[in-house]
Amino acid sequence: MLLHIFALLALALMGGISAEYKSYDGFKILEVNYQEPRVKKFVQEIDQHLGFMPDFLGENWKLKQAHYFIDKDSVSKVESNFAANNITYRMRDVNPQTFKVRRRRDLNGGAVTIHDVNNRYLSYDEQMQFVNSISQQFPQIVKLQNLGRSYEGRSITAVRIGDDGTDKPIVWIDAGVHAREWISYNVALYLVYTIVSQPTFRDLIDHVQLVVVPNTNPDGYEYSRTHDRMWRKTRSRFTNSRCGGADANRNYPFFWGTKGVSHMECSEIFCGTRPQSEPEVLALTNAIQREEARIKGYVALHSYGQEILYPWGHTMHQYPADVQDLIQVGKAMATAIKAVNNTDYTVVNSGDGLYPAAGASDDWAKSRGIKYSYTMELSPVDDETGFSLPEDRINQVNREAFQAIQVLMLEVRSKFGAVRKMATNSAASTRSAQSSLLLNRFRTTISRGFGRG
């Protein structure tokens, strides 16, 4: 299997990274254009044709391309099967820089700063050091909450911004459910720092509480950093299995185990032994349910693909009753992103692509009554760098995603924000009007249909 080939790089080459790091020499990226209906049907049934499900990296909605990561022992089988079925494809070598092991840049006890968040990928300990320093610097508006522990005992930490004991609405952001999606962690940390450190946003967090969980899969992330760059799952262990981990984004208790999942423990999309079998998922669902009546916005940060996805994702061509609201705000978020550096994000239903996926966090959040529930697939849009977004692009993606979250917070404030007791009615009305005006700058005309395009 893709995730369990022996590692080849010795510790001496790691420059301080423990154990061995998995080699991806000989692996390929498979690219398939599925404009033709017969080709689309073939790739939707690719596991039946090949006898296994290859690692699905994602799809480009606009170009109608599907991308897969093929292990070296399966390349010839894939090529012969595609040729036998008269399917045109492109098989590309993996960029060796994508999996190059670099010497870890230790801080030697120095503080982690926003410069680090904008320019390099941090360890879990560094992430926690960063949020701790923010909570100490801004104790009046930032609180840290331990939601629970990962399988290996690491804290699942939430950063609560603007938690003043009132019943104002909440926007909930979490990141990193898939370990290899490194940019999502940095985006979450940048969001925390920017909205706390800039006085411009103080009025917004007076009316909307922001909860950010910057690392929802710390075990998997550390394993991805130190052993296997393409590791996706948690690090749970199962009885009598040589394979570890489950796909936490197939483990939520909503249509669990039905579509787009595997019940084989070695699969990339193994949905766990039962709903909420993963302690990380259990911690998150318990925390959200405790205050779900106040949570009006939810975004799961993922990569990659430059997409804003809305429910339902467990099936195809079925949508929530308020789908037009989801599309409208999603398009406003995409417009805000584009204003930063002309980057295009597609707003689309998460179940209408090649593979519906049950048990995902955004579907579950929507099922709990959280109105604006999304998954953001961050940059890039292509598989050339994919999950290994170059560090010199981190800052741009951070800034783009922040604008999208700001738009969501403005919408939640406009629709659900309560008037604070210490404010006069006229002042509150003025702020509400300003919030609506800001949001309207990002609104776009809703196209007919369900937001594809």
Enzyme catalytic residues: 377
Q: Which residues contact 146 (CB under 8 A, 6 or more apart)?
A: 155, 156, 157, 158
CA distance 334 to 232: 26
* Position 293, amino acid: A
CA distance 285 to 401: 24
The string of DSSP letters for 76-117 reads HHHHHHHHHTT---EEEEPPGGGG--------TTPPP-HHHH
Nearest-5° Cα angle at 197, 195 to 198: 70
CA distance 220 to 210: 25
Q: Which residues pair with 211 in a beta bridge?
A: 160, 172
CA distance 163 to 197: 16
173 contacts 191 by C-beta, under 8 angstroms: yes
The string of DSSP letters for 238-265 reads -TT-S-B---GGG-SSSSTTSSS-B--T
Tokens of 388: 């290994």
CA distance 180 to 194: 24
CA distance 326 to 123: 34
CA 175 to each of CA 8, 39, 157, 294, 298: distance values in angstroms, whole numbers, following the listed order: 30, 33, 11, 20, 11
CA distance 350 to 311: 6
CA distance 421 to 435: 18
Length of the chain: 453
